[in-house]
Amino acid sequence: MPPDVVISARNLAKTYRLFGHPGDRIKQFLSLGLRRYHRDFTALKDVSFDIRKGETIGIIGRNGSGKSTLLQLVCGIFKPTDGTLSVNGRVSALLELGAGFNPEFTGRENAYFQGALMGLGRTQIDRRFDSIAAFADIGEFIDQPVRIYSSGMYLRLAFAVAAHVDSEILVVDEALAVGDAGFRARCYRRIGELRNAGCTILFVSHAMDQIVRLCSRVMLLDEGDLLLSGEPVSVVAQFQRLLNADSGKRAAVREQIRTQTPEPPCEGGSAAGTFGPAHPDDADAAMPYEPNGAVIDEVRLVDASGQSVNLVRSGQDYRCVFRIRFTRGAERVRCAMLIKTRDGMDLGGAMTAPSIDAGIPSVPEGAAAVAEFDFKCSLNPGSYRLNVAVFGSEAGVEYALHGIQGALGFRVEADEDRLAIGAVDFGCRSSVRLTGAAAA
């Protein structure tokens, strides 16, 4: 294994035995292998990858895709059924809320106990304890039994301990999902500090904004297979495409993602082929969902004179326009547009109706439509992407008829030097003046 590789998997597989009744385990043992009282479930299939020191790896996929199994193998909780897995470095894991905590121990006692399990001596934990307690921020409850803790308090303490043991590898499985906004912000800062210090981080989440914000690379698992590994925005877009494929087309979409074959032309033309990239880096950014009753094409950004543009100026008026062809009838139809930063952060957009009930009541098969969104550009100079989608509703549940991640890219320029910072210009007016004795 190369010296910069801290986790290496080759043809990794994990199969579980599933028993229909608790007594079947005893029958299986007594049968000496002559009879079979279980069925096999393969959670991971022939997975190979290398993770290098200092990488922050996002692991995404649908429920049951094998994400948690992979993390448990990395942490040594389970052994692989087939293949090899090499882990070089101390692993600190947060796999399940409060896993390993003794409910009768206080928070303080559990912090020392968990630290010891992770290889720290008492003196080392003594030096870190004040920082752990401050990060957890649970006050006097630190000296109360954890059985009376809320789920949020469990998470605070568990993450605080895991993030303060100086591990080479930090594994986090959906742990931030139950934290409040303030705690999540502290976690992001701490993950950033660990990443800057060279810690390798494996991060599982269903929150794609967290994945894009935190990760340098993303691995997409589905049905136990590693379909794709690469740059976060593009892998997340492929995952969204997989999520929005109906069950009859999902196998084909899986294979396209796995082999990275070109998207097949949509009926009547290619949705992906109608967008002019704003920048060479945007050439491969458009990622259509699998059509599910409609096809979006001719996505354009136009200025006040109706000319298509991909270079826009702050403070000017623009319109996002796209065409829709309905390949089957749909009810309660709404359209949407969303502007995002190049690294995937949502900035803002709009829907054509405020609720499902306010959508177009019925659209027949073969109908066509044009969606338009007028807006004033309040963005600061930079590069941005625009997503578009059309939705229908069935039995009160809204679903995507079609959508395109990164349908087009555009750049924003300003006519003059600007004092605004960040992505959005809020039109702030600023001043600073000295007061008191110093002003004299």
Q: What is the 3-state secondary structure (H, E, C) of 84-138?
A: EEEECCCEEEECCCCCCCCCCCEHHHHHHHHHHHCCCCHHHHHHHHHHHHHHHCC
Closest CA to 219 of 209, 230, 211, 210: 230
pLDDT in tens, 124-149: 989 999 999 998 888 899 999 988 98
Torsion of Cα atoms, 403 then 408 then 212 then 10, to 10°: 80
232-244 and 250-259 are packed helices; what angle lies between their axes, rounded to 10 degrees? Answer: 160
Predicted confidence at residue 178, as pLDDT, reads 55
Task: Tell me the pLDDT band of 262, cut-offs 50, 70 and 90.
Answer: very low
Mean pLDDT of the chain: 84
CA-based end-to-end distance of the chain:
67
CA–CA dist 156, 164 (Å, integer): 12
Task: Tell me the pLDDT band of 388, cut-offs 50, 70 and 90.
Answer: very high
Predicted confidence at residue 176, as pLDDT, reads 63
When mean pLDDT is compared across 135-139, 210-214, 259-263, 268-272, the lowest value belongs to 268-272
Predicted confidence at residue 192, as pLDDT, reads 81
Cβ-count burial of 435 within 10 angstroms (0-12 exposed, 13-18 middle, 19+ buried)?
exposed
Domains 5-228 and 266-413 share a fold: no
Measured between alpha carbons, how far is residue 420 from residues 213, 258, 345, 403 in Å? 22, 42, 18, 32
pLDDT in tens, 414-431: 877 777 888 888 888 888
CATH superfamily of 5-228: P-loop containing nucleotide triphosphate hydrolases (3.40.50.300)
Q: What is the DSSP string of 287-305?
A: EEPPPSSEEEEEEEEE-TT
CA–CA dist 113, 138 (Å, integer): 18
Please, what's the b/e burial string for 88-113 (b: 16 or more CB within 10 A of its CB; e: otherwise)?
eeebbbbbebbeebeeebebbbbbbb
Task: Tell me the pLDDT band of 101, cut-offs 50, 70 and 90.
Answer: confident
Regarding predicted confidence, which is higher, 326 or 260? 326
Please, what's the b/e burial string for 304-340 (b: 16 or more CB within 10 A of its CB; e: otherwise)?
eeeeebbebbbeeebebbbebbbbeebebbbbbbbbb
pLDDT in tens, 42-63: 999 999 999 999 999 999 999 8
Task: Tell me the pLDDT band of 215, cut-offs 50, 70 and 90.
Answer: confident
Contacts (Cβ under 8 Å, ≥6 apart) of 251: none
Task: Tell me the pLDDT band of 194, cut-offs 50, 70 and 90.
Answer: confident
Task: Tell me the pLDDT band of 264, cut-offs 50, 70 and 90.
Answer: very low
Predicted confidence at residue 23, as pLDDT, reads 81
When mean pLDDT is compared across 138-147, 171-180, 263-272, the lowest value belongs to 263-272
Predicted confidence at residue 294, as pLDDT, reads 94
Both tokens assigned to 245: 């494929």
Q: Is the pLDDT of residue 225 over 80?
A: yes
Residue 423 identity (one-letter amino acid): A
Predicted confidence at residue 226, as pLDDT, reads 94
Most confident of 15-29, 115-129, 221-235: 221-235
pLDDT in tens, 295-350: 998 999 999 999 999 999 988 999 999 999 999 999 999 999 999 987 778 899 99
Predicted confidence at residue 144, as pLDDT, reads 93
Q: Is the pLDDT of residue 244 over 80?
A: no
Predicted confidence at residue 90, as pLDDT, reads 83
Please tell me whether the overall predicted TM-score, pTM, comes out greater than 0.75 for this model: no
Adjacent-strand bridge partners of 333: 360
3-state secondary structure 169-213: EEEEECHHHHCCHHHHHHHHHHHHHHHHCCCEEEEECCCHHHHHH
Predicted confidence at residue 316, as pLDDT, reads 92
Output DSSP code: residue 359: S
What percent of the chain shows pLDDT beyond 90? 39
When mean pLDDT is compared across 172-176, 392-396, 403-407, the lowest value belongs to 172-176
Measured between alpha carbons, how far is residue 311 from residues 341, 382, 385 in Å? 15, 10, 12
Q: What residue segments make up the domains of the chain, in order of their start?
A: 5-228, 266-413
Regarding predicted confidence, which is higher, 433 or 182? 433
Q: Is the pLDDT of residue 159 over 70?
A: yes
Range 266-413 has CATH code 3.55.30.10:
no
Predicted confidence at residue 282, as pLDDT, reads 45
Please, what's the b/e burial string for 221-250 (b: 16 or more CB within 10 A of its CB; e: otherwise)?
bbbbbbbbbeebbbbbbbbbbbebbeeeeb
Regarding predicted confidence, which is higher, 323 or 436? 323
188: left (phi over 0), alpha (psi -120 to 50) or beta: alpha
Q: What average pLDDT does the segment 372-382 reach?
A: 93
Whole-number CA gyration radius for the chain: 26
Q: What average pLDDT does the segment 144-171 reach?
A: 85
